[in-house]
Amino acid sequence: MAGNHTQRIALIGATGLIGSNLLRHLEGRPLLSLARRASLPGREGWREKVGPMERWPALLEGEQVDVAVAAIGTTWRKVGNWEDFDRIDRHGVVEFARAAHLAGARQLVVVSSSMADAGAKNRYLKIKGQMEADVASIGFDRVDILRPGLLKGERQERRLKEGLGIMLSPLLDMVVPKKLRSIEAATVAGAIAALAGREGEGVTIHHNPDIRALAAETETGS
């Protein structure tokens, strides 16, 4: 069943690779974007509040939200240390989720990473896993965690290792498990659109094949 298109969505990450693709699926849906800089295209029913990430929870005060969507993400190479990576990819997401829950959101849809694990030795996977555990404990009726593989799509910046991975992805996809294969950011965005507003309860983790199936629902309008 496709998501409820009348429910009010609060979004972080509208300028990112996934978020920018998601916007085209949200035409006609009530949307509030929180961002560090003004960038949201003008659409009827869309609003944007701008401020530093630390201010995003305060920007949700007094708002009414049904669905929270967190599509932000950075890299260690971009921030230069694990403390800032943790501050953005874990605490930034968690604090937004808590504020959205206080604003009435019953559902959270969040982008994580394949192989995320709070007990992992790898710092990236550990932080992503800790984020998942944190948001799952907030009290949402429904939490949808998307774990895509290597994201493909047009970025404003090109990351060297990521670029090499994308170049090799056709070969890698032939040998790695399905849930670890590369995936278009537009496909992940389609899955988020299908999930946003969906009924049901509990925490569900969506791996690569699940994400593709959800995105197909969006394209067919089911």
Show the CA angle centred on residue 106, arms to residues 105 and 111, nearest 5°. 80
In whole angstroms, give the CA distance from residue 49 to residue 36.
9
Q: Give buried/exposed letters for 44-61 (b at 16+ CB in 10 A, else e).
A: eebebbeeebeebbebbe
CATH 3.90.380.10 fits 9-220, yes or no: no
Each domain of the chain, given as residue ranges in start order, spans 9-220
Tokens 């530093």 belong to 52
Per the model's pLDDT, the better-predicted residue between 152 and 52 turns out to be 52
pLDDT tens, position by position, 138-173: 999 999 999 998 887 664 444 445 444 444 445 444
Q: Output the pLDDT for position 22.
A: 96
Q: 111, 18 in Cβ contact below 8 A?
A: yes
In whole angstroms, give the CA distance from residue 115 to residue 200.
25
Show the CA angle centred on residue 49, arms to residues 47 and 52, nearest 5°. 155
Best CA proximity match to 127, nearest among 176, 99, 78, 94: 94
The mean of the pLDDT values for the chain is 87
Running DSSP on this structure, what letter comes out for residue 90?
A: I
Output the six-digit token pair for 85: 């990576």
Instruction: For residue 76, name the pLDDT band (cuts at 50, 70, 90).
Output: low
With a pLDDT cut of 70, the percent of the chain lying above it is: 84
Amino acid at 175: V
SS3 state at 154: coil
pLDDT tens, position by position, 116-130: 999 999 999 999 999
**Maximal CA-CA distance, the chain:** 50
Can you state the angle between helices 123-136 and 93-102, rounded to 10 degrees? 10
In whole angstroms, give the CA distance from residue 189 to residue 131.
20
In whole angstroms, give the CA distance from residue 35 to residue 178.
33
Q: Output the pLDDT for position 48.
A: 96
pLDDT tens, position by position, 172-209: 444 445 666 778 999 999 999 999 999 999 999 999 99
Amino acid at 118: A
Q: Output the pLDDT for position 32.
A: 97
